[in-house]
Structure formats: C-alpha cells, structure tokens
Structure 1
C-alpha cells in the first residue's frame, strides 16, 4: 500500500481497533454477568443486573455501524485528525454510557446525548467533504483547507458537556 495513503488513514484505523477492543470488553462484561447470575444447576432466570448489562451492550452494538461509517467518511473526506479526535471522544462517551447504564438508567442519559452530538458532528464533516468534492468537480473551487480549519477549531468544542 502506498505510504502516503496509509498515513492518511492510520488514525482512523487506530480508533476503529480501539472500538473493537471496547466491544470485546462489553461482550465480556455481559458474559461475566450471565455466569455470575446463573449457577450451573439452576435454570436461567432474568436478573436486573444481567438485563442492564445486556441492554447496554445491545444499545452500543446497535449504534456501532453508524459510528464506523461516519468516522471513516469524515476522516477520508474531510479531516483525519478531527474525525479521529471525535472518534476517541465517542469511545469515551460510549464507555460512560455503558457504565452509567449499569447503575440507574438516568446516569446513562448524558453519555447518550453526548454520543448523539458526536455522531452529528462526524456526519456534518462527511457532508462537508462530499460537498467540497462536488464543488471541485463542478466549479473547480477547493475549500478543503477552510473545511479542515473549521473542523479542527470546532472539534475541541466537543469536550463541552
């Protein structure tokens, strides 16, 4: 693979691999809770702790494909650094959501809302990259430098709760 191409996607690949590790951690937590709540000789009964872990894991898995698509689109079409930063923030927020869901369900709400904001940011970055491509194609105007500057300035604002 071309070294220049590889350099432009390495941060996205790192964030993707970290998200895979996080998914494995969540799945391990579900398995652990399932084994902890159910003895070998007893029939499986639903427990609130297992239900919370399973539901939190399922919710994270449901949002995972959307996260990967907007992460890679934003990184390839707009700004790799800003999208990788947003991706790391999303992983942090998803961890907060998962842990919050294990307590009271109201503790998971801030993580959920924050995660939606990060997904929206990545989506808007992707749309800006697509629009820039068509502006180059139709008008010959390239706004990539301006778009990268704006996204690099806005991305730290994701830290504000």
Structure 2
C-alpha cells in the first residue's frame, strides 16, 4: 500500500508547479519596438496570397493588423523567448502583441520551422470551459496560417 501524500507534500508540489509556471511567464520580455527582429519585417497574408485579408504587418515600430475590424497597433509586444520551452532550439519566435491581460492571441513567426510562416492562435480564450474569444479578434485567427508576401 502506497502512503498518501501529506498536505505538506501537496503544498510543496503545488508551490513547485506555481514557480515553474511563473518562470515561463516571466520569460516574456516586453519590447518597445521590433527593430531587433528585421528578418520578421514585412507583410503577412493568409496562405501568402497578398490579395487576401486580413493581414499582419511587422516593421521596426511594431505590429499592425489590417483588413479586418479596427485593431490598435501593437507597438509594445511581449517577446515570449521561452514559450516553446527552455530547450527549444528551432527558428520559431513567439510574441504576444498586446501585453495586457487577458491576451487575445499569440503570434508564432517561422511556425512549424518554416521561414516566413506565421500562425495566429487564441491564447487566453476559446479553451474548454474558458471564455469565448471576442469577435473582433477572430478574423486573424480564422485566416491563419499566414505567409510573408513576396
């Protein structure tokens, strides 16, 4: 018969899990621009077809969302350096365009290890039992994946 974990053990395990979660959250670095990511600069359209909308535009100043419901320009995104884990060594780069909570979506550039591919996914919404994503954000998620316009 296996001994039941004591409440002290359970509290310690809970604290350890909380610390691990905080470490991942703390690894998101707030930015004041996108100058340090010149390879990401450009226009991204659904499937790479630049005649389609909505689009995501990245430049030195930040990230803009065009061709859909009005969205504020994301000039202070968070770079989630460890979003895919501390041991991740691929080319994907993850950003939260709006640093305020709750975060409507997460952007992954070079998604699926494919240069120029961008995915836009819901972050704090649309999970089982969670709140629904506000409709103004949905067009960008529905149009994903994107590819950089040539």
TM bin (shorter chain): under 0.3
For the pair shown, the structure with the greater C-alpha radius of gyration is: 1
Normalising by structure 1, report the TM-score.
0.26
Question: Whose strand fraction is larger, Structure 1's or Structure 2's?
Answer: 2
